Amino acid sequence: MRTQIARILLAMMVATLAGAPGSGAWAHPEHGSSGAAGAATTQTPAERRIEFAALVPGTYELPVIKPAPDGNVLDTTGTSRRLHRLMAGKVVVLSFVYTQCSDARGCPLATAVLHQIHRATASDPVLAERLKLMTLSFDPAHDTPAVMARYGRPSEPAMRASEWDRLTTTSERALAPILAGYGQLVARPASTQAGGLTHRLRVYLIDPQRRIRNIYGLDFLDPELLLADVRTLLLEERGRR
């Protein structure tokens, strides 16, 4: 019964998040760096857990949602790179953030989940080799390569774990087609006194063929669920060989 319920919820999540932005029961309310939404929860990212078990990897399929868009980005050294080249045929978990976000249900949550996934890969050589994490800022004016080099940096950088690229762009103009392609909504304040950026929490799962296979909002952003999906894609890839 639990497996059946989880399958139904998984299908609902994919159908909703792949549809029109802002619609559906699982849509995350927009939030900024200091809005009321941030005060509405007392849970920290580390305390938050999804209330049903993840499915067993390989016992279900993830539909292809759409091709993962490409774009020009900057790595932490300031070198210009292409997203598709950075994906390098791996399973990718891509998170859009801005480093000044202080809403516990927004960017800090997404980064905390990626940290948990990163730590999990340290004890799994297959995950360490085949999974790549990416954090891409949608605030290039503030989030320079130097800022991104410090943001979300693993506390144990020497451990053998998956790669984690922390990226930004040269300008909002370079960023715009990437956000549009992924459907990542970001609203910028009319003035510097109006507060932080308003955005929707979205994390993307991308397969080695650079196709989006799942999109996670607030209600399903849990490391166990993501890792089950990652392992499902790895098993799928193994079956293709």
Res. 109 pLDDT band, cuts 50 70 90:
very high
Instruction: Check residue 196 and give its pLDDT.
Output: 73
CA dihedral 175, 177, 178, 179 (to 10 degrees): 80
**Chain segment 110-165, per-residue pLDDT in tens:** 999 999 999 999 999 999 999 999 999 999 999 999 999 999 776 665 578 999 99
Average pLDDT, the chain: 80
- pLDDT reported for residue 38: 31
Can you give the CATH number for the domain in which 74 is found?
Answer: 3.40.30.10
29 pLDDT exceeds 50?
A: no
Do the Cβ atoms of 133 and 206 come closer than 8 Å? Answer: no
DSSP code of 78? Answer: -
- Calpha distance 96→134 (Å, rounded): 8
If you ran DSSP here, which 8-state letter would residue 224 be given? H
Per DSSP (E only), the strands in 147-210 are 163-167, 186-187, 198-199, 203-206
| pLDDT, greater one: 222 or 24 | 222
Q: For the beta carbon of residue 13, count every other beta carbon within 10 angstroms.
A: 20
**Which of 11-15, 30-34, 112-116 shows the highest mean pLDDT?**
112-116
Q: Which domain holds residue 56?
A: 2-240
Residue 5, exposed/middle/buried by CB under 10 A (0-12, 13-18, 19+)? exposed
- Give the orientation angle of helix 107-121 with respect to helix 223-240, to 10 degrees: 50
Quote the pLDDT of residue 158: 54
Mean pLDDT value of segment 93-111? 92
Q: Where residue 197 falls among pLDDT bands split at 50, 70, 90?
A: confident
pTM: 0.79
Tell me how many domains the chain contains.
Answer: 1
Judge whether residue 39 has pLDDT over 80.
no
CA-CA distance, 156 to 38, in Å (whole number)? 29
